[in-house]
Amino acid sequence: MKRCLIALAIVALLPLTLTAADKSTKTSRARKPSPSLEKVEDVAGLPRVMLIGDSISMGYTVAVRELLKGVANVHRPPTNCGDTTKGLQSLDEWLGTGKWDVIHFNWGLHDLKYLDENKKLTTPDKGKQVNPLPVYEKNLRELVARLKKTGAKLIWCSTTPVPEGCDGRVKGTELEYNKVAAKIMKENGVAIDDLHAFATKRLSEIQLPKNVHFHADGSKKLAEQVVASIKSQLGK
């Protein structure tokens, strides 16, 4: 009788155990890191390049590495670099103590977005902009000053287009942010990779509808432009 009761208890627990395992597997899959965030081991003798940016840059990072294979070691922070406030908080950690030959960087899409009190994307009338233009300008000036101290050749990457119907963002806002950024870069002698202009010419072919992100082939196209700008600074 005791053996039967024990067997029944084990059977009763099995579904719960399997459910927990299933949940764990799903969570593990959901948290699988982007290949763009993988650590890069330097090839001796090659220049070191750093890509700093949000998920748009994460989308083209792997393709940039492939296109610059044998030409440069291409690194990026192991995270979405978010807005300029996050940049100020984390830049020293991202740069580390190594020497950088070229730094290709961008902030903008996370600065201009609107969030509600729960930090969810929302419309301008229901939330607040993460970093309004004056704050963005102040932050970006501080970031550029810090980046110049590295001695690396700097490339500012203009913020890519915000389309109509995109959650949390207003179409065309990036133009104002890019204008401020361009002024700062001109004052500081920083090269500009106009990825906004590059993307705009072929937007219907490379960008997802009602979304700031690009499909896989679109990101590869962006990578070609990014690589060209990096090579120009490497003298390649």
Question: In terms of domains, do 17 and 99 share one?
Answer: no
Which residue would you say has higher pLDDT here, 195 or 29?
195
Domain hosting 1: range is: 1-32
Domains: count for the chain: 2
Q: Is the pLDDT of residue 4 over 80?
A: no
**Helix locations, the chain, DSSP H:** 2-30, 55-67, 84-95, 133-148, 173-188, 195-200, 203-206, 216-234
Prediction pTM value: 0.86
Please, which residues bridge with residue 154 across strands? 103
Give per-residue pLDDT as tens, 120-133. 999 999 999 999 99
Is residue 5 predicted with pLDDT exceeding 80? no
User: Quick check: 65 and 75 in contact, CB under 8 A?
Assistant: no
Q: Are residues 28 and 102 in the same domain?
A: no
One domain for residues 128 and 188: yes
pLDDT band, very low/low/confident/very high, at 193 (cuts 50, 70, 90) = very high
Chain-wide mean pLDDT for the chain? 90
Q: What percent of the chain has pLDDT over 90?
A: 84
Which of 141, 142, 115 lies closest to 129, judged by CA? 115
* CA dist., res. 106 & res. 155, Å (int): 9
Do residues 222 and 107 both lie within one domain?
yes
State whether 45 and 25 are in the same domain. Answer: no
The pLDDT, as a whole number, for residue 236 is 77
The pLDDT of residue 31 is 62
75 & 92 share domain? yes
Token pair listed for 164:
């109509």
Q: pLDDT band for position 33 (50/70/90)?
A: confident
**121 beta partners:** 115
208 and 95, same structural domain? yes
Q: In terms of Cα–Cα distance, which of 42, 107, 40 is closest to 80?
A: 107
AA identity, residue 3: R
Q: 45-91: per-residue pLDDT in tens?
A: 999 999 999 999 999 999 999 999 999 999 999 999 999 999 999 99
